[in-house]
Structure 1
Amino acid sequence: MKKTTRQLQKEETRTALLQAAYDVFSSQGIQASRMADIAKAAGVSHGTVFLHFPTQERLVAEVLEAYCGEIAQDTHLSAVSCRTLREFLDVHIAGISRHEPFYTRLVIENRLLPQEARDAWTGLQSAVSFHFSQVLERDRAETGGVEGEAELPLSLLFNTWMGLVHYYLGNGDLFAPEGGVLRRHGQTLTEHYLKLIHKKELICHGVAENAN
C-alpha cells in the first residue's frame, strides 16, 4: 500500500529527530542533553519530539538501537573479508572512528543509561566479539596467528583489546585534546596490542627489565 504524504512526513520527522539526537548526544553528552535541545537541533517544536518519543528514555534507547546497529553492521560487512587479527583490529578502529564522538559518550556514560539503551550497547559489543573470534580462528588456521596468543583465553584477548581502546577514548582529553583519538593513536593501539599478546615479546621485555 502506498504511503500517504502525511505518513511520509511523519517518517521524515522521526528520522530527523534521531539524527538530531545523535548529533546532540555526541556533542553534549547523553545525560546532559534535554528534549528541548534535540527539538531545537531538528528545527521542530518541543511537543513534536514527544509525539514521536513519549519519554526521553525511549528516545535514547532508539538512538542507540539505530546507531549501535549501524556500527555493528559496518563491522560485519568489513570483518567478513579479514583474514588476520591485525586486519580486524584496523577495521574495528576505522568503524569506531566514523562515530567517535558518539561512541566515546557511550564508553563514558553507558552504565548510567536506561536498560533498553544498555541492551543496545551490549548487543554491539557482542557483535564485535563474535567477529573478533571468527577472524582470530581464521588467523590461527591460515597463518598460525600471533605467536603465543593461543595460550590466552578468547575472552581475555577480546576484553584486553576493548579495554585498551575504551581507555584511550574515555581519556581523550589526555591523549588528543583537539579530538580524534583514534585518528591520532589508532595505529599505535593496534601495534601495542599485538605486541602485548605476543609471548616472545613479553618474555624478552621481562628479561630486559630484569637485566636493568
Structure 2
Amino acid sequence: MAGTQRQDQKLKTRNHIIEIALNQFAKDGLTLARTADIASAANVSHGTIFSHFKTREILLDEVIEEFGRRITTRLHELVSSDCDMRDVLEAHLRGISEYETFYTRLILESRLLNESSRNSIIMIQSAISFHIIQVAERDIKECKIREIPLDLIFNTWIGLVHHYLINSDLYTKEGTLFDAHGKRLIDHFLNLLNK
C-alpha cells in the first residue's frame, strides 16, 4: 500500500511539474525558460525536477508531448464523424486558443529545438492535418468544395493560422487572437475552398 501511495505521489508531482513547465515555457520561451524557475513556480526543489526528468530537454519534450496529447484529444472530442469543414476548423482554433501562448512559442522557436522536440511538433501537426484532410476528402467527393490538392488545403490553413499567431500583436491587443478573429479566418478560408 505504501508503495502505491508513493507511486501515486510521484506521478502527481511529475504531472504538476509538466503543468507548471508548460506555463513557464509559454511565459519565458522554450529556449529561455530555466529549470530553476520551473522548480520555484512548482514549489519543488530544483533537484526534484531532475529526479523526474534527467535533462531540461527531456522535460521540454515531455511538455510538448503533453501539449500534443491535449490538443489532439480536444480535437478528437470536438470533431464528430459527421462534421463539416467549419466544425473541424472551429475545433482546431478552440483547441489552440486554450494554449495559445505556448503554441505560439512552438511556432516561433521550433527551429531552435532539438530533433526530438521538432519531431513531436510534426506529430501534432500530422494529427491536425488528418482531421482536416479527412473532412476535405469527403467534401471534395460530395462536391461541397473545389478540388484542391489535400496538402495545400492543410498547408494554406495552417499557414494562415501561424501567420496570425506570430503577428498577434498586430491583430489583437487583449484576449485570445482567435476569440477576436477566429470566425473571420474560418470564413475567409472556406471562401477559398467553396465552389
Q: CA deviation at 1:179?
A: 4.1
Specify the alignment match of 2:59 in structure 1.
Answer: 59
Q: How does 1:85-124 map to 2 (within 5 A)?
A: 85-124=85-124
Decide whether the 8 Å contact of 2:71 with 2:96 is kept in 1: yes
1:113: Cα distance to partner? 1.2
Q: Look up the match of 2:177.
A: 181
Question: Paired residue for 1:8?
Answer: 8
Taking the TM superposition and a 5 Å limit, the aligned residue runs for 1:1-212 are: 3-142=3-142, 144-146=143-145, 149-150=146-147, 152-198=148-194
CA, structure 1 residues 182+107, in 2 after alignment: closer, same or farther (shift >3 Å)? same
Compared CA separation, residues 31 and 109, structure 1 to 2 (3 A):
same
The Cα RMSD (Å) is 1.7
* Letter of the 2:106 counterpart: L
Residue 198 of structure 1: how far off its partner (Å): 3.8
State the Cα distance separating 1:178 from its structure 2 match.
2.3
Where structure 1 has 5 or more consecutive residues not aligned to the other structure, the ranges are 200-212
Runs (4+) off by over 6 Å: none
| Distance change >3 Å, CA 116–CA 182, structure 1 → 2 | same
The alignment covers a number of residue pairs equal to 195
| CA shift digits 1:106-158 (9 cap, x unpaired) | 1111111111111111001001111111111232344x222xx21x2111111
Residue 83 of structure 1 aligns to a residue in which SS? coil
Measure, in 2, the Cα distance between the counterparts of 1:3 and 1:80: 41
C-alpha separation in 1, matches of 2:95 and 2:139: 20
Cα deviations by residue, 1:25-48 (Å, 9 ceiling, x for unpaired) = 112211110000100110011111
Deviations 1:137-191 (A, max 9, x none): 232344x222xx21x2111111000000000001111111324111111111001
SS in 1 for 2:33: coil
- Matches of 2:60 and 2:5 in 1, distance apart? 27
Which consecutive unaligned segments of at least 5 residues does structure 2 have? none
Q: Bigger radius of gyration, 1 or 2?
A: 1
Amino acid in the other structure paired with 1:169: L
Task: Report the residue type matching 1:193 in the other structure.
Answer: F
